[in-house]
């Protein structure tokens, strides 16, 4: 989107050119040719903050992707340091960046290093059980909520609607089963619940839908994909957010999981773009994990799956 399409940014730059640029002020004070003033205004509007938004956003995306590749290769310490550097760099850049679209995209991107660093730190203190997911995603909900509050996205852009929820519920369960089987064939996870009792399935569903699914979909779809769509375009935003979604699964140590979750991210991302429903993608994501970490591992031996 060109800068001329954004009246808020134009107004901010007009104030800047009128009060914040000494050279332009000198031209105004000397009452020189108005064309010179227009050229100076055009120069300011074409500054790197506005003309190279794709580059400004692409650099941290590449950095996050590289950090996840380090995790995939087993160099976890180096990855933690890089994620910490990216987190600090994005935080500082938010205070300096004048372009609203870029710094709000930085707000969404900095949630990924936070997610990774919290995720890595938890197994140091706790066994990776069902309740460990609560300890990871409940604290993460705090910065996610703060970032969402500062995004100034509309309810529609964030997908906050319960329209067709009763239609989406059975659809998300069936789709979650289908995608869950595919992912189980890829990584063959163990179960997080001891048996398939109603209480255990209910607890697993609550954790995977309202903690894991909700928080991750807020990050990757409601905020990150929406912001990348505004900067790069619809399909480019879906693909870039899905690439990051795939890379964030590098901890499983297999390229097939990264590829699989990338394609799942594209599918869910497109579904979010078409429906603008956060509950739908949250339930799909959550039920994939319910089947992947609970139901399928218990039933797979009896059904002859692997």
Does the pLDDT value for residue 302 go beyond 70? no
- Please state the pTM of the whole predicted model: 0.81
State pLDDT tens for residues 239-290.
999 999 999 998 888 899 999 999 999 999 999 999 999 999 999 999 999 9
Distance, CA of 31 to CA of 132 (rounded, Å): 67
Residue 195 has φ and ψ, to the nearest 5°, of -155, 180
Distance, CA of 21 to CA of 47 (rounded, Å): 13
Residues 6+ apart with CB under 8 A from 22: none
Beta strand residue intervals within 184-301, DSSP E: none
| Arithmetic mean of pLDDT, 4-32 | 44
Distance, CA of 30 to CA of 184 (rounded, Å): 73
Asked whether the CA dihedral 111, 112, 117, 123 is positive or negative, the reply is positive
Number of residues written out for the chain? 306
| Arithmetic mean of pLDDT, 85-100 | 90
Distance, CA of 267 to CA of 263 (rounded, Å): 6
User: Please, is 302 exposed, middle or buried when counting C-beta atoms within 10 Å of its C-beta (0-12, 13-18, 19+)?
Assistant: exposed
Mean pLDDT for the chain?
Answer: 84
User: Please, is 109 exposed, middle or buried when counting C-beta atoms within 10 Å of its C-beta (0-12, 13-18, 19+)?
Assistant: buried
Cβ atoms of 83 and 64 closer than 8 Å = yes
């Amino acid at each position: 989107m060109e800068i001329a399409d954004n009246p808020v940014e134009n107004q901010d730059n007009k104030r800047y050119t009128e009060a914040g640029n000494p050279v332009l002020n000198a031209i105004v004070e000397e009452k020189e040719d108005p064309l010179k003033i227009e050229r100076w205004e055009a120069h300011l509007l074409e500054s790197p903050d506005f003309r190279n938004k794709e580059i400004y956003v692409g650099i941290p995306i590449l950095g996050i992707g590289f950090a996840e590749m380090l995790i995939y290769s087993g160099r976890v310490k180096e990855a933690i340091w890089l994620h910490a550097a990216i987190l600090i760099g994005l935080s500082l850049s938010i205070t300096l960046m004048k372009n609203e679209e870029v710094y709000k995209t930085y707000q969404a991107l900095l949630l990924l290093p936070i997610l990774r660093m919290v995720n890595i730190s938890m197994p140091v203190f706790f066994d990776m059980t069902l309740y460990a997911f609560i300890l990871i995603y409940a604290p993460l909900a705090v910065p996610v909520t703060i970032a969402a509050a500062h995004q100034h996205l509309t309810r529609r852009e964030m997908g906050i609607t319960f329209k067709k929820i009763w239609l989406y519920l059975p659809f998300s369960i069936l789709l979650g089963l289908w995608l869950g089987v595919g992912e189980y064939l890829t990584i063959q996870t163990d179960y997080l619940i001891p048996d398939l009792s109603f209480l255990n399935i209910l607890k697993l569903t609550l954790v995977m839908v309202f903690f894991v699914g909700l928080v991750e979909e807020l990050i990757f779809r409601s905020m990150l994909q929406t912001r990348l769509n505004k900067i790069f375009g619809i399909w480019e935003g879906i693909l870039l957010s899905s690439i990051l979604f795939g890379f964030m699964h590098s901890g499983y140590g297999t390229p097939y999981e990264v590829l699989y979750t990338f394609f799942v991210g594209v599918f869910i991302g497109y579904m979010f773009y078409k429906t603008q429903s956060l509950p739908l993608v949250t339930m799909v994501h959550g039920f994939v994990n319910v089947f992947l970490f609970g139901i399928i591992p218990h039933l797979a031996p009896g059904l002859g799956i692997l």
